[in-house]
Amino acid sequence: MRDSRVSNDSVVVSRNSFKRSAVALSVAACLFSGGHVIAAEKNTAEQDIEVVEVSGIRGSTKASINTKRFAASQVDGITAEDIGKLPDVTIADSLQRITGVQIERTAGEGGPVAIRGLPQVDTMMNGEVFLSATTIDSSGADFGDLPSQLFSGLDVYKSSEAKSSAAGISGSIDLHTRRPFDMDEGFTFSGGVEATKGTISKDTDPNINGLFSYNGNKWGVLFTAVASEANRKRLCIL
């Protein structure tokens, strides 16, 4: 009887140890399988990562706001968001975007400019008096002949200032050309090609512009050129 008890006890102990080992194995299997799942999720997440690149015009907007903020008079302006990226073909079209500025169009293209309805506008380029060949007898300029790609921005002064001795009655416009020291150090190239086709004339009008600049930190040089052609045709009803 004693031996049978011992044998029964040993059987019970062996069964308990078997149960414990089975539980340990199942827990270990769960842990290992969980690790594989986590690794698979990480690999899937790394493969599914998408790069989203956002580009904007924060720099040009900030420059325009600072021009108004630090001016001693009523000033508004436009700054090119990047090289050759003023929003319109000519400076006249860009000026029309400014509040209080009106332009006169001929065959769809902008020309003379008025500020608050008055055409007596003084025109400057980099702070100096600027006159065009068609407006030599007035203080203004024909903005329809000035491509926007030649300029980095412009300021419209809607009130007179003491520093401007030849200001117009309605205000002044100051055009800013690009300068080599405004570019990054080294060489800078920029260019663009556009083409428009008229629905009436059926002709294709090309527009080609290019810029080359070198900033040597102590000296610099910049060349820019624009070539365009416009074919106009009108329909007359008799």
How confident is the model over 138-156, as pLDDT tens digits?
666 778 778 888 888 888 8
For residues 4 and 105, the model is more confident at 105
Residues contacting 225, CB < 8 A, separation 6+: 209, 210
Distance CA 66, CA 50 (A): 36
Exposure string for 109-144, b = 16+ CB within 10 A, e = fewer: bbbbbbbeeebebbbbbeeeebeeeebeebbbbbbb
| pLDDT at 6 exceeding the cut of 60 | no
Predicted local distance difference test score (pLDDT) of residue 116: 84
Predicted local distance difference test score (pLDDT) of residue 98: 84
pLDDT band at 220 (very low <50, low <70, confident <90, very high): very high
Q: From residue 190, give the alpha-carbon distance in Å to each of 60, 150, 168, 206, 208.
A: 18, 12, 35, 17, 11
How confident is the model over 130-140, as pLDDT tens digits?
876 666 666 66
pLDDT band at 30 (very low <50, low <70, confident <90, very high): low
| pLDDT at 96 exceeding the cut of 80 | yes
The per-residue pLDDT of the chain, averaged, comes to 72
| pLDDT at 203 exceeding the cut of 70 | yes
Q: Between the ranges 34-38, 58-62, 124-128, where is the mean pLDDT highest?
A: 124-128
Q: What angle do CA 206, 175, 177 make, to 5 degrees?
A: 65
Q: From residue 152, give the alpha-carbon distance in Å to each of 52, 56, 57, 67.
A: 29, 17, 14, 14
Predicted local distance difference test score (pLDDT) of residue 69: 75
Tokens, residue 216:
């040597």
Average pLDDT over residues 193-200: 79
Neighbour-count burial of 81, counting CB atoms closer than 10 A to its CB (0-12 exposed, 13-18 middle, 19+ buried): middle
Of 126-135, 181-190, 215-224, which range is least confident? 126-135
Predicted local distance difference test score (pLDDT) of residue 222: 92
Predicted local distance difference test score (pLDDT) of residue 125: 86
Of 26-30, 36-40, 53-57, 120-124, which range is least confident? 36-40
The model's pTM is: 0.62
Distance CA 197, CA 233 (A): 12
For residues 152 and 166, the model is more confident at 152
